[in-house]
C-alpha cells in the first residue's frame, strides 16, 4: 500500500513540474525544472523496483555471481554437443573472475519497464570508469564475453570491450539494469573487502554501508577453512554494530550430490561442518553461539537445478521440472529475502525515496508561494514592502555566518563530553580481555579470530552501556538537534513576517532532516582538523585520515541507530601480527598492548562520525537559510517588476494560475511527509 501511494505521489509530482515548466519564463528555471523531473523519474524507477539492498559476500569462486542470476530467474541452461556427449552449459548475467584481483564490484538493479531504457532480456550493461562520476551505457542484452570484458580487468578479456578507448581504462564498477526479475532487490556482487585496487575497495565499502542485509555465499564442494575467517569476521563486526541481518547460503549443492558412507549427499556433510564452523568461531562471551549473527545457519540451494527445471518445463516435461525446481530450494531463499522486505527494509526504502522527492518539490513550492504572496500585495504598499524585504535580506545574510559559528562551537562542546567518556574504554577492554588473552595462543588463526570477536563484542557492549559513548551521544545528539532548530527558527523569526509577503514557515525536524545541502560538504581534511582539536596530536590524529575517509564515504549517520556503527568499519580489521616473533608470551603482550590502540581507534572513528553527523545537520540548516535568502531576493525582483509595471489584469490572471499550483504542491508535500514518517 505504501509503495503504491509513493508511486502515485511521484507521478503527480512529475505532472506538477510539467505544469510549472509550461509557465516558466526563465531559461535557468526551465533547466532546473527539467533536472528535477529527471530526478523524479529516477526515484520512480527505484520505488517501483528495488525495495531492499542485498550485499553478497563470499570467498573466491564461491558462486556469488551465479547465485545472483539464479535469484533473479535469468540463469539460462542449455546442452552443448561435444565430441563424446552433450555437456551442460549455464549462462548468467555476470561472469566469474579467473583471479581474485581481476573482479570489479557489480550490481544487478531491477527497473520497471516503460522507463525509456532497454533493460529487457539480459539487461542493460553500464560501467563507471575510475575517475568518473557518471555511468557509461555499454549496451543491452550483450553476450557473456562482452560483459566479462568490463567485469574483469583481465588483459585476455578487455579486447572484447565495445570501444577501443574503453580498453585502456580501469572499470570501477559495473551495473546491469534488469526489467525481467523475480526479486525487487538491488543485488551487490562484492569481490571482498581489502581489494588491492583502492577504487574497488571504496565501492565495496560504500555498498556495504547501503545494504539492508548480507548474503554470505559458500560453495557446497568445499567446507569453510581458516582462509574465510578474515572476511566473515569483518562481516561479523559490521553486523554487530549495524544490526544488519545475514543470510548464509550453501550454493552449488547439485555438484555435491554423491552419496557418502551413510548414503547421504556430500553437500549435507558440508552443511553440517559449515554450521559447526560458525558456532565454533563466532560465539558470545558466555560461549554460546551468536544466534543473532548465525541465525538458522546455511540454506542449501542450487540455481543450476532451478534453471534446468525451467528448461524441462519449456520442453513439456512438467513432472521432472517440478522435481528439479523443488530440489533447488531457490524459492526458500527468495522468501527469506522477501520476509526482510516486509519486516521493514521496504518501509525504510519508501521513506528514503519520499525524503528525496520532498527535497525536490519543496523548493519549487516555496518559490511559487513567494510569487503568490508578492502578487497579492496592493499597489500602494509595494514600495514600503520592498524596503522591508531588503532589510530582512540584509539581516538574514548577516545571521547565516553567526548561526553556523554558534552551532559549530556547540557541537564541539558536546563532542568533548563524548571524548572524555572514552577514557573508560581502554580499562574496560583490559578488564574484559587481559585474563582471556593470557590463556590463548594468538599465533593460531582460530584463537586469534576468537580474540578479535571478543574485542568487537566488548567494544560494542561498552558503547551501548549506560555510561557508553553511544548512549551519551544519543542524549547529546537529541539536545544538539533542538539547539539547531532553535537557532534556525530564531534566525528566521528575526527576519520573516508572519503576514503579508512573509514566509515564516515553522521549521520542524522533518524539514531539517530532508533539507539537502547542495554545495558544502565536510571534507576529510576538515574532519582531521576537528579531530586533532578534540584529541590532540600524535598517533591518534595520525590515524584520523583513514578513519575520516571511511566515515565520509558511508551513509548519513544521523540515524536512530546512532553513530557507533561507523566504528565497526574503522577497527574491525585491526589485528596484531606477530611477524617473526615466535614467543607466545611476547605475542600475548602484543595483544594486550594493542587494546589501548583499539580504544583510541574506536574513539577517533566515533568522534569523526559524530562530528560528521553534526556538521551535516548544520549544513542542512544553513541550506534552509540560503534558500530563504534566495526567496527574499526573488521577492525583491518581483516587487521591482510590479513597481515598474503594475498590470492589475495580468496580476489577477497570475494569481488565478498560482493558487491551484500552490494548493496542489501543499498536498504533495503533506503526502510525502506522511511517507517519510511511516518508517
Mean pLDDT of the region 266-295: 94
Run of H or E including 619: helix 584-644
| pLDDT confidence of residue 679 | 66
Mean pLDDT of the region 18-23: 85
- In this structure, of 30-44, 220-234, 238-252, 500-514, the range with the lowest mean pLDDT score is 500-514
pLDDT in tens, 447-465: 999 999 999 999 999 998 9
| pLDDT confidence of residue 389 | 84
pLDDT in tens, 629-658: 887 888 888 788 777 776 655 666 777 788
Assign 38 a pLDDT band (cuts: 50, 70, 90). Answer: confident
Give the span between the Cα atoms of 560 and 173, in whole angstroms.
Answer: 31
pLDDT at residue 551 tops 90: no
pLDDT in tens, 476-519: 999 999 899 888 888 887 555 433 333 434 455 555 655 554 44
- In this structure, of 273-277, 573-577, 602-606, the range with the lowest mean pLDDT score is 573-577
pLDDT in tens, 173-189: 999 999 889 998 999 99
What's the number of CA atoms in the CB half-sphere (13 Å) around residue 553? 18
Mean pLDDT of the region 44-70: 84
- In this structure, of 115-119, 317-321, 552-556, the range with the lowest mean pLDDT score is 552-556
| pLDDT confidence of residue 526 | 61
Give the cell for residue 644. 515598474
pLDDT in tens, 149-168: 999 878 888 899 999 999 99
Give the span between the Cα atoms of 191 and 262, in whole angstroms.
Answer: 36
**Contact yes or no for 51/185 (Cβ under 8 A):** yes
| pLDDT confidence of residue 154 | 80
Cross-strand bridge partners of residue 503: none
Architecture of domain 51-95+102-111+182-345: 3-Layer(aba) Sandwich (3.40)
Which single residue is written with the C-alpha cell 555510561? 467
Cross-strand bridge partners of residue 87: 80
pLDDT in tens, 308-360: 999 999 999 999 999 999 999 999 999 998 888 777 667 777 888 888 898 88
pLDDT at residue 195 tops 70: no
Cross-strand bridge partners of residue 107: 175, 188
**Would strands 124-129 and 136-140 be described as parallel, antiparallel, or unpaired?**
antiparallel
Cβ neighbourhood burial of 259 (10 Å; 0-12, 13-18, 19+)? exposed
What's the number of CA atoms in the CB half-sphere (13 Å) around residue 457? 19
Architecture of domain 1-48+346-375+648-679: Up-down Bundle (1.20)
Phi, psi angle pair for 108, to nearest 5°: -110, 115
Assign 142 a pLDDT band (cuts: 50, 70, 90). Answer: very high
Which single residue is written with the C-alpha cell 585502456? 168
Q: Determine the Cα angle at 486 with ends 485 and 490, to 5°.
A: 115
| pLDDT confidence of residue 49 | 62
Query: Which residues contact residue 26 at a Cβ distance below 8 angstroms, ignoring those fewer than 6 apart?
Result: none
- Dihedral Cα 134, 140, 145, 151, nearest 10 deg: 30
**Would strands 52-58 and 185-189 be described as parallel, antiparallel, or unpaired?**
parallel
Run of H or E including 251: strand 246-251
Give the cell for residue 606. 566515533
pLDDT in tens, 352-411: 888 889 888 988 888 888 778 877 778 778 888 888 888 888 888 888 878 999 999 999
Give the cell for residue 209. 554501508
Cross-strand bridge partners of residue 77: 90
Run of H or E including 515: none
pLDDT at residue 225 tops 60: yes
Domains of the chain, residue spans: 1-48+346-375+648-679, 51-95+102-111+182-345, 401-646
pLDDT in tens, 561-597: 344 434 334 434 445 454 455 689 999 999 999 999 9
3-state secondary structure of 84: coil
Cross-strand bridge partners of residue 669: none
Q: Determine the Cα angle at 358 with ends 35 and 656, to 5°.
A: 80
Which pairs from 99-103 meet CB under 8 Å and 24+ separation?
Answer: 99/154, 100/60, 100/191, 100/192, 101/195, 101/196, 101/197, 102/152, 102/153, 102/154, 103/151, 103/152, 103/191
Assign 426 a pLDDT band (cuts: 50, 70, 90). Answer: very high
- What does the chain come to in residues? 679
**Contact yes or no for 219/62 (Cβ under 8 A):** yes
The torsion region of residue 35 among left (phi > 0), alpha (psi -120 to 50) and beta comes to alpha
pLDDT at residue 418 tops 90: yes
Task: Tell me how far the alpha carbon of residue 538 is from its chain's centroid.
Answer: 32
| pLDDT confidence of residue 674 | 87
Mind giving me the DSSP string for 159-218? GGSSSGGGGGS-EEEEEEEESS-SSSEEEEE---SS-SSHHHHHHHHHHHHH-SEEEEEE
Cβ neighbourhood burial of 342 (10 Å; 0-12, 13-18, 19+)? exposed
CB atoms within 10 A of CB 281: 23
Closest CA to 216 of 250, 183, 166, 179: 250
Task: Kindly give the residue spans of alpha helices, DSSP state H, lying in 315-424.
Answer: 318-328, 330-340, 346-375, 382-421
| pLDDT confidence of residue 649 | 57
Amino acid at each position: 500500500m505504501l509503495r503504491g501511494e509513493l508511486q502515485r505521489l511521484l507521478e503527480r509530482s512529475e505532472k506538477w513540474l510539467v505544469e510549472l515548466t509550461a509557465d516558466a519564463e526563465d531559461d535557468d528555471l526551465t533547466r532546473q525544472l527539467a533536472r528535477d523531473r529527471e530526478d523524479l523519474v529516477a526515484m520512480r524507477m527505484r520505488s517501483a523496483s528495488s525495495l531492499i539492498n542485498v550485499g553478497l559476500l563470499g570467498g573466491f569462486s564461491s558462486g556469488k555471481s551465479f547465485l545472483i542470476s539464479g535469484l533473479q530467474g535469468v540463469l539460462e541452461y542449455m546442452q552443448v554437443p561435444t565430441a563424446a556427449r552433450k555437456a551442460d552449459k549455464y549462462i548468467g548475467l555476470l561472469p566469474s573472475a579467473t583471479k581474485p584481483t581481476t573482479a570489479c564490484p557489480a550490481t544487478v538493479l531491477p527497473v520497471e519497464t516503460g522507463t525509456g531504457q532497454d533493460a529487457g532480456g539480459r539487461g542493460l550493461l553500464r560501467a563507471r570508469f575510475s575517475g568518473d562520476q557518471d555511468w557509461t551505457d555499454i549496451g543491452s542484452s550483450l553476450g557473456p564475453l562482452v560483459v566479462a570484458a568490463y567485469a574483469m580487468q583481465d588483459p585476455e578479456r578487455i579486447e572484447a570491450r565495445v570501444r577501443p578507448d574503453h580498453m585502456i581504462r580501469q572499470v570501477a564498477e559495473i551495473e546491469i539494469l534488469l526489467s525481467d526479475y523475480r526479486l525487487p532487490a538491488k543485488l551487490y556482487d562484492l569481490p571482498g573487502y581489502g581489494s588491492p585496487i583502492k577504487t574497488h575497495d571504496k565501492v565495496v565499502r560504500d555498498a556495504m554501508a547501503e545494504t539492508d542485509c548480507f548474503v554470505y555465499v559458500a560453495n557446497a564442494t568445499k567446507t569453510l577453512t581458516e582462509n574465510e575467517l578474515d572476511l566473515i569476521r569483518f562481516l561479523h563486526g559490521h553486523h554487530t554494530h549495524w544490526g544488519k541481518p545475514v543470510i548464509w547460503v550453501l550454493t552449488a549443492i547439485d555438484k555435491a550430490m554423491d552419496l557418502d558412507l551413510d548414503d547421504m549427499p556430500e553437500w549435507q556433510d558440508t552443511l553440517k561442518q559449515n554450521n559447526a564452523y560458525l558456532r565454533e568461531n563466532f560465539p558470545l562471551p558466555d560461549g554460546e553461539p551468536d544466534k543473532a549473527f548465525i541465525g538458522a545457519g546455511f540454506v542449501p540451494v542450487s540455481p543450476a537445478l532451478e534453471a534446468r527445471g525451467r528448461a524441462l518445463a519449456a520442453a513439456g516435461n512438467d513432472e521432472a521440472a517440478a522435481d528439479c525446481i523443488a530440489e533447488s530450494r531457490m524459492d526458500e531463499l527468495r522468501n527469506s529475502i522477501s520476509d526482510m522486505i516486509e519486516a521493514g527494509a521496504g518501509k525504510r526504502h519508501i521513506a528514503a525515496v519520499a525524503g528525496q522527492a520532498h527535497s525536490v518539490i519543496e523548493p519549487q513550492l516555496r518559490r511559487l508561494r513567494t510569487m503568490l504572496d508578492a502578487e497579492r500585495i496592493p499597489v500602494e504598499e509595494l514600495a514600503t514592502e520592498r524596503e522591508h524585504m531588503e532589510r530582512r535580506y540584509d539581516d538574514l545574510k548577516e545571521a547565516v555566518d553567526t548561526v553556523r559559528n554558534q552551532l559549530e562551537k556547540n557541537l564541539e562542546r558536546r563532542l568533548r563530553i563524548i571524548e572524555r567518556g572514552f577514557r573508560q574504554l581502554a580499562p574496560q577492554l583490559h578488564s574484559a580481555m587481559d585474563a582471556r588473552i593470557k590463556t590463548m595462543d594468538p599465533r593460531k588463526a582460530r584463537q586469534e579470530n576468537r580474540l578479535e570477536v571478543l574485542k568487537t563484542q566488548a567494544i560494542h557492549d561498552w558503547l551501548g552501556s549506560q555510561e557508553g559513548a553511544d548512549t551519551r551521544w544519543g542524549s547529546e545528539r537529541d539536545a544538539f538537534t533542538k539547539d539547531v532548530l532553535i537557532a534556525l527558527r530564531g534566525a528566521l523569526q528575526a527576519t520573516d513576517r508572519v503576514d503579508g509577503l512573509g514566509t515564516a514557515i515553522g521549521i520542524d525536524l522533518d524539514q531539517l532532516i530532508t533539507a539537502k545541502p547542495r554545495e558544502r560538504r565536510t571534507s576529510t581534511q576538515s574532519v582531521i582538523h576537528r579531530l586533532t582539536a578534540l584529541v590532540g596530536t600524535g598517533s591518534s590524529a595520525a590515524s584520523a585520515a583513514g578513519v575520516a575517509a571511511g566515515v565520509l564515504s558511508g551513509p548519513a549517520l544521523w540515524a536512530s541507530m546512532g553513530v557507533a556503527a561507523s566504528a565497526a568499519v574503522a577497527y574491525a580489521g585491526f589485528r596484531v601480527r606477530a611477524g617473526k616473533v615466535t614467543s607466545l608470551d611476547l605475542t600475548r603482550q602484543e595483544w594486550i598492548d594493542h587494546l589501548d590502540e583499539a580504544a583510541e581507534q574506536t574513539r577517533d572513528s566515533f568522534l569523526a562520525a559524530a562530528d560528521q553527523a553534526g556538521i551535516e545537520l548544520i549544513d542542512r540548516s544553513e541550506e534552509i537559510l540560503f534558500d530563504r535568502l534566495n526567496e527574499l531576493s526573488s521577492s525583491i525582483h518581483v516587487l521591482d517588476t510590479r513597481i515598474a509595471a503594475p498590470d492589475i489584469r495580468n496580476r489577477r490572471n497570475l494569481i488565478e494560475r498560482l493558487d491551484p499550483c500552490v494548493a496542489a504542491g501543499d498536498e504533495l508535500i503533506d503526502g510525502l511527509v506522511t511517507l517519510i514518517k511511516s518508517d
